[in-house]
Amino acid sequence: MYILLLIVFSADITGCGKYGEAGGIAHQDQVVAIDGGSDQIAPAEGQESGSGQIAPAEGQESGSGQIAPAECQESGSGQSASAEGQNASESQGDSSSLQNSTTDLESDTGETPDNSGSTALNDVEDEQITPVPVSPEMNIEDWIMTHSLEEKIAQMFIVTPEAIGGDTALAAAGPELEQGIVKYPVGGFIYFAHNLQSPVQTSGMLDTTKDYYTSNGFIPPFISVDEEGGTVARIANNPAFGVANMGPMMNVGATGDVNVAAYAGTYLSAYLKSLGFNMDMAPVADVYTNPSNTVIGNRAFGSDPYLVAEMVVAEMAAMRAGGVIPVVKHFPGHGATEADSHYGYASTASTLDELLACELVPFDSAVRSGCQCIMAGHISAPNVTGSEVPATLSSYMLTSVLRNRLGFRGVIITDAMNMGAVTNQYDSATAAILSINAGADVILMPVDFYAAYNGVLQAVNSGVISEERINESVRRILELKKNFII
């Protein structure tokens, strides 16, 4: 039974000023009671049954889910400036590796590219990884020192089950998936709408997948999904699950009440955990400041960075308490961009000081509040780095800013590497190598997993990536897994 009380307020969100100082909460608007006696959630009074949406705040157009954004700062001319303390070699080194690649794109509709054109399995050494039993008392350093380079690299990938399971629309875990796991015990899987048909089917598929890992002596996998609420909700948008959609997070942000964001985290983690998921690609920490933005919109909590920060921290903490790993996204912020990185190049014109004053505020708060996992977006910041390299491949953004400036010590996951911002310029192997050398720990959904895996393996063997760099990421991944799922 899931019970959630959502209080929706009208809000006057006024950009990058601390909310409550300029503008802020106007008045209480209405109460939405959600009662889940039979896994069904009753709609609010005046809300059409089955819509699964939180009623909009007063003054907001019903159904639009949008609150007019405010400008965080003047974006300036958008001309590229040299990066603070940035070595020019990053731009030159990254751009020299540009390669063209075409692919179907991952999108928020849950459509997944067909991996049938992936690198053939016979291009990979036909050698199974020898498992070693895993226990909660395992010593991470011992594991790193006693396991093969191949198994350590496999930990650094989260893929769709189809990527190693040999099916274009996998909805059950079968022998082919187990064979793929035995050969490539990847760090985890991400599931989309076409994989998820009903509670019984989903629980059975996920439990069987986990059993393949434990029965073969491998580290348990991350079992992840995009479940934000609103338009991005693989479970709640499927009536077969009988779970009401939380609605867009902008409505939650409009309440100005961190308890509502905490309820959202508790609610989402409760039904995800019950199905067998242990990781959610949420909450969204983007600050929605550009009215032309098409990719974030009402997925964000709002346009005030301090309000967004408090909402993100509250949802993150509640989700973690519910036994699900929250992945705060999309560093360094997708709310001010105009382009959609699913389809091509997306950038922010902000300088580092401007990012620190606005888009990075929620990420900084999340890090200070014990955030353990952040997703890096395919967003370039030419006025910060001096290049058009996306953050996922930029050592300045991931290491100098996120690790050193913000002090993040957890796991960095890339956004899906089958998105146009990456595939239009890089092949799977090149993108994975650049991302790991930039500071990423987990490569999410490369177009061609086998090419990416083998590319990283060859890069280590040739000295392009050091094995200690691999060990650093595996250490962080295993720490996270030991805290949550081992």
Q: Which residues are catalytic?
A: 342, 415
Say if CB 306 and CB 361 are below 8 A apart. Answer: yes
For residue 449, is it left (φ>0), alpha (ψ between -120 and 50) or beta? alpha
Helix 428-438, helix 449-461: angle, nearest 10: 50
For residue 59, is it left (φ>0), alpha (ψ between -120 and 50) or beta? left
